[in-house]
């Protein structure tokens, strides 16, 4: 069968969808405010979300402000289908998984600029920005290689930054459990000709257990120049992290690990409009640095130093004609690494993209075929086509479907890493998959809901295996995995008296059929979240007082389910905001990555002033 989904589960999810939509509709008399339409920019053809036929979920600026969290890592924890495997508090070292993929199979973009790490996906989330400078987050689930190229194996996340602030300045100070101390200042100014946005933050903690202390700096600057004629965006971001890594990577008993990372991005981009053409040229440089010690107190025992660079130029274009909208793209980049372990390596990649959106039956049906062709200096030419389709069933319901090939090129770590227990493999092939999806999207003035069925047949997946206890683990294309799933999302709003209330929920079910291994000993097991349910409510008690309640249920195939509840409260008065947040209030015992135990109940208190 195409999908092997439990019938009762599927019907239950559909019932929840219908119930949520009905509930939202019954509130129409309580509010006339409509959900705002947002243009999605995470592709070459700019479309409102309601007209897009891909699986895209948006987190708006308002939702970020009302979430009660302090980092993007914690915000993404509230989205079903995103498996964020953290190793501590404060958004410290975390891995991003989408729909059962792994941390190397997800692409991160900043304003459409790809910032994947050729060393390892472990450092991907080091590039995410502070919440104070983010306009919205676009989450693309499912295969996205034909849109973005390699690394978008199971999905992509595009972080769209603000151009300026509503205020001139925002100062925020926080203090909390584990001697957490956070301070940040955000400045903004806008005129008819230019606008600037600047941010600096410093976060520190003694750690929630031995050797989990950290000190983080983040600086961000964005300027939009020449706004009246040819607007040019300049973006610069720098992150510096120093942290104890107790059990983060090796066995949990190895508690003396330590790491320092840096993540930098500098980019120029603009948008040109001429007749029926829209052109988006970009020039960017991304730098990553990683220093890892196996023994924090004895750096000479074992140390890895890596510095990666990616320099690229890209051009996206779209053209409107009587036949529809055409999208074209070009991306040329050089990636290099200088490492005491991996050596001196470089890789050039040139990618061409093409897609066209056809519309039929008075625009009730849209079909968008597309293709990406990439040429690598070390992996030759890769061709990956795909197609999206949408059908308007009624004013409120839309059918969406897509199918496509997707791929991932091995990281430099996969290819060249070497330590006393592990070897890379220079003969690795690219990971490949064919993925299909079908779903129904509902939208009215108060509610948005989507239910999807999806399948991914992945081959040549990279695992580290050995044939005897005496051998080293070696990277090998051993895995074949068929992943089946169902996913449900719903957002709706209503009023209690004069105050608007917002609710969001999501559920993802995954089933992995793992192909037989030819080796008896494997380092990595497929351990996706089988059940993942999130429920978030944003109560507004008065015009000055609001809260946030977040609940998450997660269960992996071999483990018991765990339940985590977080609370937040904020009060505004004449430019001041006082905030309280409490995480894991019921002291759930659980781990998300490498058996690293997550902290029990902890909290933060903060004060913010708007100038």
We report the CATH number of the domain holding residue 277 as 2.40.170.20
Higher-confidence position of 488 and 524: 488
Q: How far is CA 176 from the centre of its chain?
A: 27
Cβ pair 537, 516 in contact under 8 A: no
The band of 296, judged by pLDDT with boundaries at 50, 70 and 90, is very high
Cβ pair 444, 425 in contact under 8 A: no
Identify the helix (H) or strand (E) that includes residue 301.
none
Residue 535 lies in a domain: yes
Higher-confidence position of 576 and 514: 576
Residue 136 lies in a domain: yes
| pLDDT on residue 31 | 38
Residue 196 lies in a domain: yes
Can you tell me the mean pLDDT for 389-396?
Answer: 95
% of the chain exceeding 90 in pLDDT: 75
User: How many domains in the chain?
Assistant: 1
Higher-confidence position of 520 and 533: 533
Can you tell me the mean pLDDT for 303-311?
Answer: 97
| pLDDT on residue 336 | 97
* DSSP-derived secondary structure for 486-555: EEEEEEEEEEETTEEEEEEEEEEEEEEEEPPPSSSEES------SEEEEEEEE-B-SSSEEEEEEEEEEE
Residue 144 lies in a domain: yes
Can you tell me the mean pLDDT for 600-606?
Answer: 97
% of the chain exceeding 70 in pLDDT: 92
The first and second tokens of residue 566, run together, are 């977080």
Query: How would you classify the pairing of strands 106-110 and 303-321?
Result: unpaired
Query: How would you classify the pairing of strands 365-376 and 343-360?
Result: antiparallel
Give pLDDT tens digits for 491-509. 999 999 999 999 999 999 9
Residue 1 lies in a domain: no
CA–CA gap between residue 581 and residue 447 (Å, rounded): 27
Four-CA torsion 599, 75, 133, 96, nearest 10 degrees: 90
Q: How far is CA 259 from CA 245, 251, 305, 332, 438, in A?
A: 7, 16, 10, 31, 42
Residue 396 lies in a domain: yes
CA–CA gap between residue 28 and residue 493 (Å, rounded): 10
Cβ pair 206, 185 in contact under 8 A: no
Give pLDDT tens digits for 86-131. 998 888 889 999 999 989 999 999 999 999 999 999 899 999 999 9
Paired with 568 in beta bridges are: 548, 581
**What are the backbone angles phi and psi of residue 559, rounded to the nearest 5°?**
-125, 165
**What are the backbone angles phi and psi of residue 120, rounded to the nearest 5°?**
-170, 145
Give pLDDT tens digits for 435-478. 999 999 999 989 999 999 999 999 999 988 888 888 888 999 98
Ordered strands of the 55-59 beta sheet: 55-59, 134-141, 155-161, 106-110, 113-114
Residue 53 lies in a domain: yes
| pLDDT on residue 518 | 61
**What are the backbone angles phi and psi of residue 358, rounded to the nearest 5°?**
-95, 145
| pLDDT on residue 36 | 53
Name the nearest CA neighbour of 326 among 43, 114, 40, 39: 43
Identify the helix (H) or strand (E) that includes residue 197.
strand 195-205
CA–CA gap between residue 419 and residue 431 (Å, rounded): 24
The band of 146, judged by pLDDT with boundaries at 50, 70 and 90, is confident
| pLDDT on residue 519 | 58
Category of 469 on φ-ψ map: left (φ > 0), alpha (ψ -120 to 50) or beta: alpha
Residue 537 lies in a domain: yes
The first and second tokens of residue 436, run together, are 């299909």
Decide if pLDDT at 537 tops 50: yes
Four-CA torsion 395, 399, 405, 407, nearest 10 degrees: 70
User: What's the pTM value of the predicted model, to 2 decimals?
Assistant: 0.92
Q: Which domain holds residue 136?
A: 7-610
Cβ pair 57, 75 in contact under 8 A: no
């Amino acid at each position: 069968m195409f999908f092997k989904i439990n019938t009762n589960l599927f019907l239950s999810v559909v019932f929840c969808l219908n119930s949520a939509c009905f509930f939202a509709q019954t509130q129409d008399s309580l509010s006339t405010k409509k959900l705002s339409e947002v243009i999605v920019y995470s592709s070459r053809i700019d479309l409102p979300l309601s007209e897009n036929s891909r699986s895209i979920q948006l987190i708006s600026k308002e939702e970020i402000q009302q979430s009660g969290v302090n980092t993007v890592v914690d915000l993404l924890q509230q989205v079903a289908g995103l498996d964020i495997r953290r190793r501590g508090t404060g958004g410290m070292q975390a891995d991003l998984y989408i729909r059962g993929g792994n941390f190397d199979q997800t692409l991160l973009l900043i304003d459409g600029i790809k910032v994947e790490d050729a060393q390892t996906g472990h450092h991907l989330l080091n590039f995410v920005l502070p919440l104070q400078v983010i306009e919205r987050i676009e989450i693309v689930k499912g295969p996205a290689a034909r849109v973005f190229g390699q690394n978008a194996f199971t999905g992509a996340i595009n972080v769209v930054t603000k151009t300026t602030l509503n205020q001139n300045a925002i100062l925020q100070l926080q203090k909390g459990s584990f001697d957490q101390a956070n301070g940040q200042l955000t400045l903004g100014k806008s005129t008819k000709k230019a606008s600037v946005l600047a941010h600096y933050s410093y976060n520190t903690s003694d750690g929630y257990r031995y050797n989990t202390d950290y000190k983080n700096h983040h600086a961000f600057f964005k300027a939009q120049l020449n706004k009246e004629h040819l607007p040019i965006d300049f973006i610069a971001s720098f992150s510096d992290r120093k942290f104890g890594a107790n059990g983060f990577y090796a066995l949990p008993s190895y508690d003396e690990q330590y790491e320092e990372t840096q993540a930098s991005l500098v980019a120029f981009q603009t948008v040109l409009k001429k007749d029926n053409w829209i052109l988006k040229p970009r020039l960017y440089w991304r730098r990553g640095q990683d220093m890892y010690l196996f023994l924090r107190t004895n750096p000479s025992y074992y140390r890895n130093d890596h510095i990666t660079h990616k320099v690229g130029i890209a051009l996206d274009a779209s053209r409107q004609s009587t036949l529809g909208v055409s999208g074209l793209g070009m991306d040329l980049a050089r990636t290099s690494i200088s490492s005491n372990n991996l050596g001196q390596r470089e890789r050039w990649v040139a990618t061409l993209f093409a897609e066209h959106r056809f519309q039929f039956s008075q625009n009730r049906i849209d079909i968008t075929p597309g293709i990406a062709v990439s040429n690598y200096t070390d992996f030759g030419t890769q061709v990956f086509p795909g197609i999206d389709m949408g059908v308007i069933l009624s004013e409120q319901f839309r059918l969406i479907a897509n199918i496509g090939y997707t791929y991932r090129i091995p990281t430099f770590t996969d290819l060249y890493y070497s330590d006393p227990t592990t070897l890379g493999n220079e003969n690795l092939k690219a990971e490949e998959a064919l993925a299909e999806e079908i779903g129904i999207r509902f939208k009215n003035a108060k509610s948005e809901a989507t239910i999807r069925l999806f399948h991914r047949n992945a081959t040549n997946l990279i695992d580290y295996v050995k044939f005897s206890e005496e051998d080293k683990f070696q990277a090998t294309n051993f895995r074949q995995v068929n992943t089946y799933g169902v996913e449900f999302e719903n957002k709706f709003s209503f009023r209690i008296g004069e105050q608007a209330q917002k609710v969001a929920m999501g559920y993802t079910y995954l089933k992995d059929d793992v192909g037989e291994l030819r080796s008896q000993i494997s380092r990595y097991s497929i351990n996706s979240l089988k059940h993942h349910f999130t429920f978030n409510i944003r109560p507004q008690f008065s015009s000055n007082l609001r809260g946030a309640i977040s609940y998450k249920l997660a269960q992996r195939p071999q483990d018991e389910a765990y339940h985590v509840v977080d609370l937040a409260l904020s009060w505004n008065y004449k430019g001041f905001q006082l905030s309280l947040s409490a995480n894991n209030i019921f002291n759930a015992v659980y781990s998300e990555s490498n058996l690293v135990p997550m902290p029990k109940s902890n909290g933060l208190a903060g004060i913010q002033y708007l100038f």
